[in-house]
Amino acid sequence: MTKRIERFLAEQKPPTPCLVMDLDVVADNYRRLRAAVPHAGIYYAVKANPAPEILTLLDKMGSSFDTASVNEIDMVLATGAKADRISYGNTIKKKEDVAQAFKRGVTLYAFDSDAELAKIADAAPGSRVFCRILTSNANADWPLSRKFGCDVQMAKTLLLEAAKRDVVPVGVSFHVGSQQRDPSQWDIAVEQAAWLFRQCEEKGVMLSMLNIGGGFPTRYRRTVPGLKTYGVAVQDSLSKHFGNRIPEIVVEPGRQLVGSAGVIQTEVVLISKKSDGDRKSWVYLDIGKFGGLAETMDEAIQYPIVSTRTGQPMPVALAGPTCDSADILYEKADYTLPADLAIGDRLEIRAAGAYTTTYASVAFNGFEPIKTYCI
């Protein structure tokens, strides 16, 4: 919670639920990442929060952009950023979308299969391509495993194959899982990438770029290691496996840049119990899983939820307002709220700047998507 957000909420009293983003915090997060990985190209993962004000700010600060669809590419271009600062990092693209991206000047594409490589070679000839490899995603609160990437043997075959087609194989990418709490996870994937670089070089294909993905965390309820620790772990790992031939490094931060910059304000709609003897109270909010808090799935991401009341802590289950029983935020995690909490109170859901607005449904049960205010 920042002073600016506090003042905005007190003065403007916007209807709830709403997300307020403090752009100063985004800028600060960008500078901290810049310092932690000074030599890396920063490609903001647009999906984390594509608010035009955020894209414009990051463009001004020199960021590049990781996109997953033609719409995201258009959002970035609308800020005035040039297409050469855009990577089309989704490994699952329609051929027509590759063609549309290419028409807009995008020439950097991810792939993890032969069929995807064929689409890129056909629809975006001459482009640079990088192959995503599988990683375990251990110790990540929001894993991105199994679905993306191929094993290193297949990656080798694909990169060598790419060299024979009308594209330029430039490197390797991976993602260690989002909200990765363990900085040592990068080392496993960097080692595999270095092996791939050597294997390709032996066959005369010189790779030049290593994309080490996102995964840098936001502080939620649990503490996480500082960003510097991640920077040091990555640098040590690169030196260990690449020696003095470290390639061009790319990072794709999403959560780290915007998570801590946003606060969702929500209203308490109902407080009730399921039986007279119930220890837990059920607190129903005007935002839930379908209104933007999808990452509460399996209670994976645990946002700090704060009331200004001062009563004794009361154990609660928290749920959203929709007519779907999947719309429970936290039932197992030990959340408490002050016992004097009342219907109509406003609560703050902190560190909610990443993966909230984009995950909101269009209008399930008639509830409108959450509104964003950038200040």
Ligand X SMILES: *Cc1c(COP(=O)(O)O)cnc(C)c1O
What pairs with residue 246 in β-bridges?
none
* C-alpha closest to that of 186 among 217, 156, 219, 223: 217
* C-alpha closest to that of 128 among 91, 168, 161: 168
Nearer to ligand X (CB atom), residue 213 or residue 247: 213
Q: Is 51 helix (H, G, I), strand (E, B) or coil?
A: coil
Q: Which helix (H) or strand (E) holds 210?
A: strand 209-211
Nearer to ligand X (CB atom), residue 358 or residue 365: 358
CB of 117 to ligand X, least distance (A): 17
Q: How far apart are CA 309 and CA 292, in angstroms?
A: 25
What tokens does 366 get?
């008639």
Question: Which of these ranges, 17-25, 54-62, 232-240, 251-259, lies near ligand X under the rule CB under 6 A?
Answer: 251-259
**37 binds ligand X, rule: CB under 6 A:** no
Site string (175-204) toward ligand X, x via CB under 6 A = x--x--------------------------
Q: How far apart are CA 33 and CA 257, in angstroms?
A: 8
Nearer to ligand X (CB atom), residue 200 or residue 212: 212
Which residue in 89, 143, 247, 291 binds ligand X (CB under 6 A)? 89
Sign, CA torsion 306/307/311/314: negative
Which member of 131, 150, 200, 323 is catalytic?
A: 323
Nearer to ligand X (CB atom), residue 194 or residue 212: 212
Which residue in 149, 171, 213, 321 binds ligand X (CB under 6 A)? 213
Q: How far apart are CA 154 and CA 113, in angstroms?
A: 8
Which residue in 26, 33, 37, 48 binds ligand X (CB under 6 A)? 48
Is the CB of residue 329 less than 8 Å from the CB of residue 349? no
CB of 214 to ligand X, least distance (A): 2
Which residue in 59, 66, 72, 116 binds ligand X (CB under 6 A)? 66
At a CB cut-off of 8 Å and minimum separation 6, what does 186 contact? 176, 212, 215, 230, 233, 234, 237
Size, binding site for ligand X by CB under 6 A:
16
Residue 18 designated active-site: no
CB of 218 to ligand X, least distance (A): 9
* C-alpha closest to that of 214 among 174, 247, 184: 174
**252 binds ligand X, rule: CB under 6 A:** yes
What tokens does 217 get?
């965390």
Footprint (CB under 6 A) of ligand X, residues 259-278? none
Q: Which residues bind ligand X (CB under 6 A)?
A: 45, 47-48, 66, 89, 175, 178, 213-216, 252-256
Positions marked active-site: 323
